[in-house]
A and B are shown apart, each in its own frame.
Chain A
Amino acid sequence: MNASNLATGKHVVVTDFDGGEGILVDLNTKRYFQLNETAMIVWKGLEQGKTIGEIVSDFTSSYEVEADHAALSVKRLVDSFQTYKLVSAK
């Protein structure tokens, strides 16, 4: 999976909340998603068109986390975004 092939949906609005957390609003379904700090970093990375590797690097440079573990977390989050159709192929 290459995150650079994914784009955040134009129908999704993100707003910061409480420091690093955030809320996503899917304007098509009117569903709201609460994102923790980690999920927000992934979302913002996707918004900026970063690859999975670049997003994982963001994690490992900011937090004390193994690259493998960070990669797995990022993949899970991206999968969730895809499941809920919050991101789509470019």
Chain B
Amino acid sequence: MPVDAVVANGRPGLSWMNMAGVRLEEPFFQQTVDRVKAEQSDAPELFTEFDTLVQVEKTFDSVEPTGFIFHSSRCGSTLVANACRAIAGAIVLSEPAAADKLIARFITDTDETGTKEALYSVFLRGVVKALGQRRAGDERCLFVKFSCCSVSQIDRIRRIWPGVPCLFLYREPVETMVSNLQNVPAWLVDEDRRVLASMIGSSSEAISEMSLEELCARAIGSFYSTANRVANSRTLLLNYNQLSLAEITNVLQFFGVGPAAAEMESIAHLSQKYSKADRAFVADAEAKQQIATDLIRDMAQTWAVTPYRLLEQKRLEHKRS
């Protein structure tokens, strides 16, 4: 399986690992890759250029994508991905590096003719096909959870897979910001500032002058705005504060999957635990609101609250219709 998109000796391509018999059971794809590397210290990684992917893509027996999960970060998307994983025969790809890095290339490596966009689209399709291979034989659905920044490229992703239903999960901005600033994610401090700059409509130079609070607020504001712009009948909007067993079931049904009773039981069990670690889930909305600094509140108010409210309005409209 392609485990990363890399540049080796100046040549862009993919890093592959033999994942035969490996279950993608961790909350994130990278955690599974890290486990395999730890268990098999001599596991070889193979580098190929992208032309190899284009050649072998046609030979894969793969599951077509069933549903895509987009999100505004720290908002319950991992719980939803874990719920998808409880479905028999499901493959869940949670933020696989190869896919998310190719999506970032839509921003960082463009040309006027659109050829690069077409190329990266073909590579992305191939990577998802490679990752979605039937390895046990009984796989029947494929869910892909993208990194939060990938929502900025949702138009291009939809162009590749126009019929695949998309979920956009989000959370109230102050709570989202507190979570991100307590435990700062890599995307927020990425040294290559071009993706963030593109998302928030600024320059790499300008964002290097911004506080983390401002950057975070503007980024999540851009996620809400993008989701609001692209929301249609093939998009389900879900607020973290609505997350419940019934809503998760609704998400699965939106993806065309009807969970069996035993699967529902597993999902109910999952929803009582913290999605990224094996401990009980504790609601923290109030606590996050209480510890938010004035700067977080100011930045949220300036950059994220209005797009959040508009998105909420859109969600309620969708629910009524």
Using CB atoms and an 8 Å cutoff, list the residues of chain A in contact with chain B: 13, 15, 17-18, 21, 23, 25, 27, 30, 32, 34
Contacts and interface: CB of A to CB of B under 8 A. Distances in A.
A30 B115 contact: no
Interface of B: 49, 51, 54-55, 57-58, 113-115, 118-119, 121-122, 125-126, 159-160
Contacts of B118: 17-18, 21, 23, 34
B54 A15 contact: yes
A66 to B, nearest CB: 28
A15 B119 CA distance: 10
B54 A13 contact: yes
Contact of B55 (A13, A17, A18, A32): A13
A25 B51 contact: yes
A73 B307 CA distance: 49
A12 to B, nearest CB: 10
Contacts of A18: 118, 121, 159-160
Given A32-B115, A34-B115, A13 B121 contact: no
A34 B114 CA distance: 9
A6 B146 CA distance: 44
Given A15-B57, A18-B159, A34-B113, A23 B119 contact: yes
Nearest to A27: B51
A34 B115 CA distance: 6
A13 B122 contact: no
B85 to A, nearest CB: 30
B54 A30 contact: no
